[in-house]
Structure 1
């Protein structure tokens, strides 16, 4: 199977992480790509703040690469395990890196590439590299991965904070500190906005291949109950156009049929890459956004760049990384006998209103941002 750009970016980041500094020409050889491709990848990652680039060389931000020398006396070493260093988790990593730098700590990164079976070994690698505490976003893909690849987290010998993942209530993992986006709140924001514009119950078009997608689906069912609504139909299963073009086409046509039959005039689509591609394909099938269909995307990574800028729910990804790092630093610097209660911190997404729902930005740009907290008792945390 041909390697995706995201997978290549993760390999590139891992190489720079290991070396501290590397020449772009050397990276091209190690990655097995042309110098032009390597240069474009480096420019993209540098623009996201994931790499520093100077005169044909790249280095880990802040000089915190493996080859950058010993940590300053008294400086903490923090580990971060993420399923990817691009798209959604690029902002989470950036927030964690910024918070670590403010605390005078060094952040070490490992990428699981959504292989949950490798999470434990990669986390042990962080500990072997000197991490005194870890931030962990497991590479779970579906609900079956949580019980199969999660219990080991509660047995770690160092403080740990779970990122953008939730544990099943009552499990050992549920006692761990965690920081995550409240996706149910984000879905509720979207549905309320569309209902306020006069639409009947919006449809949900969503994938089922990630914890965020599953949380959006669960949030949709919860929002329908909160708003005392009935779903006009079951969730439309979305598939990535690149890996499953037939599945993607089925989803687009199901949405087209719902609009042309009068079943629905509004939809929430996870994620915004899929949403942009769906808007393009719907136009070819005679359905216009927002004239025929009011549409809100979920994630807000590239939604603003669509031909018709997409209204989007924006999870507070950078703040998740920042608050989780601050919580981990607090755990590591607590005095003997002063351990505070474990915490479950939920951060509220924002609704960024643009043209795709047929309402002007003044009607809801930045609606409902904020943070909410809950407390968790126990001594361990869950992923």
Structure 2
């Protein structure tokens, strides 16, 4: 696989950080690229304040070295996210807002949901001068933490997990974390649909992300808490554009459950899948909300559907905001000395989603947001 520019930048920064300074020609040789490429990389990194250039050489800048405050007097924060778009764009925005208000600098690496690369990306953040880390690992499958997560317990700087809940009792369970309480979000959706007179809703969900797995677990807990029987097995969904055959199977199963009278409402993870589902069901004669009340989970694009979708909205921006504030607090305490730092308890902060009521559930929209 061809190395990306970001990966090459990480290696370049690590070399300069290790040596203090290096000639462009030496860096080109070590990196296995042309001097022209290295000069272009150095120029880009120097513009960001990560390197200093002096007559064919580069050096680690005293203004951006490890442990050195950012320009506003605050620390340098590193953020590892699996994506910079859907869902995590708001997490990043919140972290950036908190960093800016504290005079800190936020630097970002993206793993593209490749958990095997999380460690290298994080090392790149440390090489770029990060004094503390906000980490949203690229986990997708249930076994990804065990396969790719142990290294996080040994990080040399304060770290906060975002939107990830490690296995109870694991080494990562001792880390600070800030997460959306997806179980509560699912309970809001189920309770709302039941309150409209429906039996327990059907769940249509993916299984390829921690959020999807939490939604599935939350669904079982919500049914138990409300004394409801599952109306149908959980239907596994897939992106319509990536796996059209599997998507069509899910649609047909929903159609059958509705036309048989067993199901009158549905919770769908995520927004995009819900929009595709509504469109295809309409082609098959099942109307939302007339024949089927629907709630989506994520609330990224739910309001933009032809029939605006009622949706559970995890507090994504606030996850980033509170995570960065907690990390800045940890870094400030650490600077007071190890004794004071050791007295501070760890934190597991769970933020509650909200339910945004729109047309797809068949209920009039309230004047305020349901909590």
TM-score, length-scaled by structure 2? 0.81
Shift of 1:265: 0.2
Match for 1:353 among 346, 354, 357?
Answer: 357
SS of match in other structure, 1:362: coil
* Larger radius of gyration between Structure 1 and Structure 2: 2
Q: Deviations over 1:173-192 (max 9, x none)?
A: 00000000000000000000
Q: What does 1:95-114 correspond to in 2, within 5 Å?
A: 95-114=94-113
Which residue does 1:366 correspond to in 2?
Answer: 369
Q: Deviations over 1:76-98 (max 9, x none)?
A: 10000000000100000000001
Q: Say whether residues 1:338 and 2:340 are aligned partners.
A: yes
Which residue does 1:82 correspond to in 2?
Answer: 81
Alpha-carbon contact 1:114-1:139 (below 8 Å) kept? yes
Alpha-carbon contact 2:10-2:128 (below 8 Å) kept? no
Match for 2:47 among 67, 74, 80?
Answer: 67
Alpha-carbon contact 1:80-1:107 (below 8 Å) kept? yes
Task: Supply the distance in 2 between the matched residues of 1:133 and 1:85 (Cα, whole angstroms).
Answer: 20
Q: What does 1:144-155 correspond to in 2, within 5 Å?
A: 144-155=143-154
Instruction: Indicate how the Cα distance of structure 1 residues 326 and 262 shifts in structure 2: closer, same or farther if over 3 A, else same.
Output: same
Instruction: Indicate how the Cα distance of structure 1 residues 110 and 285 shifts in structure 2: closer, same or farther if over 3 A, else same.
Output: same
Which residue does 2:312 correspond to in 1?
Answer: 313
Task: Supply the distance in 2 between the matched residues of 1:14 and 1:294 (Cα, whole angstroms).
Answer: 46
Alpha-carbon contact 1:83-1:139 (below 8 Å) kept? yes
Q: Deviations over 1:213-236 (max 9, x none)?
A: 000000001111111111112100
Shift of 1:362: 1.4
- Gap runs ≥5 in structure 2: 12-43, 50-62, 64-69
Instruction: Indicate how the Cα distance of structure 1 residues 12 and 127 shifts in structure 2: closer, same or farther if over 3 A, else same.
Output: closer
SS of match in other structure, 2:240: coil
Instruction: Indicate how the Cα distance of structure 1 residues 16 and 131 shifts in structure 2: closer, same or farther if over 3 A, else same.
Output: closer
Task: Supply the distance in 2 between the matched residues of 1:142 and 1:99 (Cα, whole angstroms).
Answer: 31
Instruction: Indicate how the Cα distance of structure 1 residues 76 and 268 shifts in structure 2: closer, same or farther if over 3 A, else same.
Output: same
Q: Deviations over 1:279-338 (max 9, x none)?
A: 000000000000000000000000000000000000000000000000000000002122
Instruction: Indicate how the Cα distance of structure 1 residues 188 and 129 shifts in structure 2: closer, same or farther if over 3 A, else same.
Output: same
Alpha-carbon contact 1:14-1:110 (below 8 Å) kept? no
Task: Supply the distance in 2 between the matched residues of 1:355 and 1:214 (Cα, whole angstroms).
Answer: 27
Instruction: Indicate how the Cα distance of structure 1 residues 124 and 243 shifts in structure 2: closer, same or farther if over 3 A, else same.
Output: same
What's the RMSD between the two structures over aligned residues? 2.1
Task: Supply the distance in 1 between the matched residues of 2:128 and 2:121 (Cα, whole angstroms).
Answer: 11
SS of match in other structure, 2:241: coil
The count of corresponding residues between Structure 1 and Structure 2 is: 312
TM-score, length-scaled by structure 1? 0.78
Instruction: Indicate how the Cα distance of structure 1 residues 315 and 15 shifts in structure 2: closer, same or farther if over 3 A, else same.
Output: farther
Shift of 1:14: 9.4
